[in-house]
Amino acid sequence: MGARSSWPLARSVLRQFNLLVSYNRPPLAYAVRCNSTVAAAAEAAETAKSPIQILRTIAELRFWRREQLVKGLAVGLVPTMGALHAGHMRLVQSSMRMNDKTVVSIFVNPSQFAPSEDLASYPRDFDADIEQLASLEGDDGARVDVVFAPRVDEMYPNGIPLNVAEQKGAFVTVHGLSEQLEGKIRPHFFRGVATVVSKLLNIVTPDRVYFGQKDVQQTVVVKRLVQDLCSGTVVHVVPTSRDANGLALSSRNAYLTDQTKQDAAVIFKGLQNATMVYRQNTSADKIIDAVVLTITEKFDKNDIEYVSVNDKDTLEELQTVHPLKGAIVSLAVRVPNRFGGKTRLIDNILL
């Protein structure tokens, strides 16, 4: 579908955050927690006041998991990076409905961040996360049982420099699905995601694992990962949760001004217009034009990094959408944030 199939990268993603993060300077929350005795006391207090077990080590999680296996109980896993919102909660509720026990992992995974990205400033609020999770109750009284919140060195015992060339040890790449769309702009992103998901699946060995439609390429990558690495876990994809105006919920929405949040309604409106155009015309170019036209009601065309129409399984770019197969329409837009810079928003819809 050539040049028109996706909008060219307006600018390098390196411009996104002016923040340089070095591995030698660990994220603040992590550094603070490493301050051993204080941290241990705080963690004991956390555990005491919450009905949820907070486990920090792989050994503790494995011990817990063996108990569930012996009891014959089904375990669901919801991997997150914390800063939880209603979108995450929907995944957790799906797990609580379908499993006897639910584990939520909270881990800001360094290997999916480029050195220029926002690892150090990524929103973290562990206490608020636990509070939200503790307030959830399923119809049958189900609750979140375990939060797995490992430290970085528990997950990456060899260390994890953000510069991929300096990384040592085992990493997982899902070739063929990691290079397009988000992978074009964030070349090592899905290697980081596939690696941490593999680790979490090996640690928790859940019966089911839950991901959001919001990160559609991630769902395609993870499904292939699970299939190709012969994992016994079943992947469930949960629909995108949105604000009243259609803005997809995201932890990074905390970076946005109220005005931008309002303006960002055009993103979902654009995707809905894509669906309307598709009913009359299956040409990808026409669908993309409709999305771009709507988004440029509020945002600069140069800030649209891509709008693309792709196959749901192979992520191949399409020129026309086959009505029996449908397609993914996905996009990334850079919108003004509270810090005078730009934040990338991604969204998608299935045709």
Residues near ligand AMP (CB under 6 A) are 80-81, 87-88, 90-91, 211-212, 214-215, 238, 240-241, 248-251
* Angle of CA points 343, 347, 350, to nearest 5°: 170
> Is the torsion defined by CA of 10, 12, 13, 14 positive or negative?
negative
Measured distance CA(64)–CA(138) in Å, rounded: 21
Is residue 129 within 8 A of residue 85, CB to CB? The reply is no
Q: Which residue is nearest to ligand AMP (CB)?
A: 212
Residues annotated catalytic, as ranges = 88
Give min distance, CB of 84 to ligand AMP, in A.
7
Taking the complex as a whole, the smallest distance from the CB of residue 249 to ligand AMP amounts, in Å, to 4
Q: What is the DSSP string of 117-137?
A: S-TTTS---HHHHHHHHHH--
| Nearer to ligand AMP (CB atom), residue 84 or residue 277 | 84
The H-or-E segment that residue 336 falls in is strand 328-336
Q: Kindly state the smallest distance separating residue 189's Cβ from ligand AMP, in Å.
A: 11
- The CA-to-CA distance between both ends of the chain, in Å, stands at 18
Tokens of 341: 């810079």
State which residue, 78 or 309, has the beta carbon closest to ligand AMP: 78
Residue number with CB closer to ligand AMP (80 or 310): 80
> Residue 88 Cβ, how far from ligand AMP at the closest point, in Å?
5
Q: Which is nearer to ligand AMP, 112 or 180 (CB)?
A: 112
CA–CA gap between residue 181 and residue 236 (Å, rounded): 22
Helices 36-49, 126-135: inter-axial angle, 10-degree rounding? 20
H-helix segments, the chain: 28-33, 36-49, 58-71, 86-98, 126-135, 152-155, 182-185, 189-204, 216-228, 258-263, 265-280, 284-295
**What is the Cα gyration radius of the chain?**
20
| Cβ 223 to ligand AMP shortest distance, Å | 12
Measured over the CA atoms of residue 243, residue 149, residue 212 and residue 236, the dihedral's sign is negative
- Our CB check for ligand AMP shows the closer of 87 and 336 to be 87
167 or 213: CB nearest ligand AMP: 213
Sign of CA dihedral 157, 160, 166, 168: positive
CB of 251 to ligand AMP, least distance (A): 5
